[in-house]
Structure 1
Amino acid sequence: MGRGDFSRVRAEFGLPDRFPDAVLAEAERAVDAGPRGERVDRTDIPLVTIDPPGAKDLDQAVHIERLGDSGFRVHYAIADLGAFVTPGGAVDTEVRRRGQTIYLPDGSVPMHPAVLSEGAASLLPGQVAPSALWTMDLDAAGEPLAVRVERALVRSTEQFDYASVQAAVDAGDPHPSVALLPALGELRRAAAIRRGALELQLPEQDVERVDGGWRLVLRGRTRVDAWNAEISLLTGMSAARMMLDAGIGLLRTLPDPTEEDRAWLRHSAGALGIDWPEEHSAAEVLARLDASSPAAMALSMDATRLLRGAGYTAFDGTAPELTSHAGIAAPYAHVTAPLRRLVDRFGTEVCLAVSADAEAPSWVREALPTLPALMEASDGLAARVDRACLDQVEAWVLADRVGEEFDAVVLRANGDSAEVFVPDPPVLGKAAATELPEGRMVRLRLVEADPAARRVRFAKG
């Protein structure tokens, strides 16, 4: 267990500790005035939310029902910030500057004032809230037949977390609103593999608060996590299709890997002893791996080479040359997390206009060209802050264990150094050594754990 706070990380990256008074005042006025614009009343739909325990910034609520004998109708309500944020106002200016909510172990740096993100704009249970309500009709294979989105008033009936939904599913007693989530989630996951979508099975570190300090844990991913993610991906894919058909929008893009990269990954699998039948795609091979095996972890790390170059592509009038996201194996747009990510509000406004057969608002068109740079900057900042926090806790936890030996998986060997994963405590670190066998379990000695430098290093024997 490590002890300390993350004030140095916050200061190092210049993270704001409060909102300007003008922003807070404008947000309060917006809440007092109530949501703007006309919207249909869909409070009759028994939506539920599925989020991490204790979350208050609830972006999505879902309800799935049968369509005919074997199809599906998905209602997916997304928090509607357009009901409260005035284009060009103080809140809009500030959230463009922040770009996204940044999460640290001791609390978040929110994109919106809490009166919005954890209050009037959040899809909290029992609260009537404005939303962009997606209605997606799917066939028996889980493929879209018809998609529309409209401004609506909704009311979530329950707030669940992933573990509780998984436990209910396992017990054969799921909530009626998500009783069809397993069936639809499996269909969508199978479709993703057929498309060639890549899902990397790498260990996910997390930090937990315990007894006044911090400890590292591995974040378990339930089947409900995967099924729920497929609903979000379905919505983002539907949004992208809508944007491309209309000739305006903002896509999340990733170029296809080169043939050289594909061949290199296949060669890496062979070196790790992983069978790769000639007729199988990378998506099929990665999907069937045992995520806990050292070789699978190493191959997933190697597969990150296929996912380089992600970006945001804005367009208005002419579709861009690159329209697809190679990791998803389809066009995709961010529209499902507007409380926590700037770009989603603008993408949602485009889709609402397209669905209503109307022109996108002028303020959206004016902003589109500026959004890729804003998002890429905030994505980079969020990633650096996240890594710094993990590095800090790793160094705290291991500070008094220098000289001890640990079992470690060699994820990537590169000359005289390697990237390694220590399962207990769960640490991703560097090892200074030659001839470490990639994809194997080895015994390493901790040679440095420096909390001031946030640095941990291992060495062979």
Structure 2
Amino acid sequence: MRRRQMSMSREAQDALLQALQQLRAELKATTEFPAHVLKAAETAKAEVQLPDKDATHLPLFTIDPPASMDLDQAMHLERRLGGGYRVYYAIADVAAFVRPGGPLDAEAHDRIETLYFPDLKVPLYPPTISEGPASLLPNQIVPALLWQHDLDADGNVTDSTVSRAKVRSLAKLNYEGVQQDIDAGTAEESVALLREIGKLREAVEAVRGGISVNLPNQEVTLKDGEFRLRYVAPLPVEGWNEQISLMTGMAAAQIMLDSGTGILRTQKEQPDQHVVERVHGIAKCLHIDWGPGVSYAKLVNSLDPANQKHMAFLSEATAMLLKAEYTTFRDNQLPEHKLHAAIAAPYTSATAPLRRLVDRYTGALCVAACADKPPPKWVLDALYCLPCDMARGKGKVAERRAVDLVEAAVLKNRVGEVFDGLIINTDEEDNRPKEGTLHLAEPAVRGKITSDDELTLGATVQAKLMLADPLGPDKEKILFKTV
């Protein structure tokens, strides 16, 4: 699933700087790296060796937000003689810079993943590497894991392989510019093919029963002393780009399953019935028609993330239903459960090694398997610890708490007002039936609510805003009480 972006105007960033700094302090998230880690990064830069395989002839391009410098992926798309397509997908080869057991490795196992905040990011690796020689920035020759996917005319993958290669990206593109060029018919063929292949892969996904939930981006501004929060629907090109990443993650999972050693991102197909009932209740209270016999996948694919009520449902339902975990296996002892239910196929994280710890390991396993070599010892030594390591990641917590902070800022001058809202969750299962979550239609925010009586899921209530404090403790930033 594409990560939801939150952008802030400079005025909003300045006004919320103290609250954002406090949040990072609470999460122990720092942009600073210890001196010995920075020294190791400089040594790695000086000693990195490029692969023998030369793929610098491929005219690769990247698509990222304009300010991004830690570029994990670059691609080149082309038609195949006789029909179908070939996708070259280069992934940053972080393992070329990180010595197993060394300072960079230890620091990465402490950080787990890059953390994104509205005003800045806290990187997984020092920017001297992640925004320099390991990044797929244009016009520099760098080591990469080069995937080659062959597709038939309907977008089905017929063959996938990966090997280490030196590559050179030629263009750093952004989503808005690519969308404009594709829509105008002025994009170069390799870029224009992203729409053609992306739509075919979306159709394959629908037949497979997969779900792509592209939550809208959030934009925060400050005008006349009032914070404003609005949702910006993702561009179609973001979904097409995500399909290339998903295709690679599925190919990597299958390669590891075939080799008998790997780590999958798994998700149960059937959540607990109690959870399903609660999600149906949320849909009902948000007036979303979920007819009998309609699958969750079909419902989600019919919703509009730009619609505030649809967005509220997607946020709540995704958090409740789409909980995934990492599952390891080796020596051909395959796990009983192999599928990622939302993707409707085996899947693993493999395309963001500059921003996620586990991808460095899955990439190394796939390269070894495709070369008919045994798994690297440094991967096997860490394999069984990786699920616990990834569970310590703070990415989702940072995103949720940043949203809570912004929503508190939006409401901070409206304490004492009464709002109409919907009860979209209750804490009944935790023996707190008088507490829950309230979703407002306008502004589109949510917060904790308490009542003198038991709350009913799906009920429309009037609630008085008792507290909205961006600087308050996490659980007390927004508080409503029924009237």
Alignment partner, residue 29 of structure 1:
43
Alignment partner, residue 448 of structure 2:
430
Alignment partner, residue 203 of structure 2:
190
1:131 aligns with 2:144: yes
Alignment partner, residue 227 of structure 1:
240
Q: Which range moved further: 205-214 or 124-133?
A: 205-214
Alignment partner, residue 391 of structure 1:
404
1:14 aligns with 2:28: yes
SS for the counterpart of 2:99 is coil
Q: Unaligned stretches of 5+ in structure 1? A: none
Which of 437, 442, 445 does residue 419 from structure 1 map onto?
437
**What whole-Å deviation, never above 9, does each CA across 1:47-103 have from its counterpart, x for those lacking one?**
111111200000001111112344111111000012111112111111111111112
Taking a change above 3 Å as real, the CA distance of residues 172 and 452 of structure 1, as seen in their structure-2 partners, is same
Q: Residue 346 of structure 1: CA displacement?
A: 0.6
Aligned residues of 1:64 and 1:177 also touching (Cα < 8 A):
yes
SS for the counterpart of 2:37 is helix
Q: Residue 280 of structure 1: CA displacement?
A: 4.2
SS for the counterpart of 1:194 is helix
Aligned residues of 1:307 and 1:327 also touching (Cα < 8 A):
no
Taking a change above 3 Å as real, the CA distance of residues 36 and 284 of structure 1, as seen in their structure-2 partners, is same
Counterpart Cα distance in 2 of 1:85 and 1:53: 27
Alignment partner, residue 65 of structure 1:
78
2:65 maps to a residue whose letter is: P
1:170 aligns with 2:172: no
Aligned residues of 2:231 and 2:306 also touching (Cα < 8 A):
no
**What whole-Å deviation, never above 9, does each CA across 1:313-354 have from its counterpart, x for those lacking one?**
111111111111111111111110000111000100000001
Taking a change above 3 Å as real, the CA distance of residues 105 and 255 of structure 1, as seen in their structure-2 partners, is same
Q: Unaligned stretches of 5+ in structure 2? A: 1-11, 427-432
Q: Residue 421 of structure 1: CA displacement?
A: 4.2
Counterpart Cα distance in 2 of 1:249 and 1:212: 52
1:98-247 paired onto structure 2 within 5 Å: 98-200=111-213, 204-205=217-218, 207=220, 216-247=229-260
Counterpart Cα distance in 2 of 1:264 and 1:428: 17
Q: How many residues align?
A: 456
Alignment partner, residue 295 of structure 2:
281
1:85-96 paired onto structure 2 within 5 Å: 85-96=98-109
Counterpart Cα distance in 1 of 2:289 and 2:126: 51
Q: Residue 231 of structure 1: CA displacement?
A: 0.6
**What whole-Å deviation, never above 9, does each CA across 1:253-309 have from its counterpart, x for those lacking one?**
111114735577567657766555656432122211244456644653563376354
Alignment partner, residue 335 of structure 1:
350
Alignment partner, residue 88 of structure 2:
75
Taking a change above 3 Å as real, the CA distance of residues 131 and 210 of structure 1, as seen in their structure-2 partners, is farther
SS for the counterpart of 2:343 is coil
2:166 maps to a residue whose letter is: L
Alignment partner, residue 367 of structure 1:
382
Which of 442, 445, 456 does residue 478 from structure 2 map onto?
456
Q: Which range moved further: 226-235 or 390-399?
A: 390-399
Counterpart Cα distance in 2 of 1:143 and 1:10: 43
SS for the counterpart of 2:131 is helix
**TM-score between the two structures when normalised by the length of structure 1:** 0.89
Counterpart Cα distance in 2 of 1:236 and 1:79: 15
Identity %: 42
**What whole-Å deviation, never above 9, does each CA across 1:212-238 have from its counterpart, x for those lacking one?**
998644243111111111110000000
Alignment partner, residue 447 of structure 1:
466
1:341 maps to a residue whose letter is: R
SS for the counterpart of 1:173 is coil
SS for the counterpart of 1:244 is helix
SS for the counterpart of 1:4 is helix
Taking a change above 3 Å as real, the CA distance of residues 236 and 21 of structure 1, as seen in their structure-2 partners, is same
**What whole-Å deviation, never above 9, does each CA across 1:419-453 have from its counterpart, x for those lacking one?**
3444665533234467778498x876533212332
Taking a change above 3 Å as real, the CA distance of residues 384 and 266 of structure 1, as seen in their structure-2 partners, is closer
1:457 maps to a residue whose letter is: L
Counterpart Cα distance in 1 of 2:52 and 2:365: 16
2:53 maps to a residue whose letter is: V
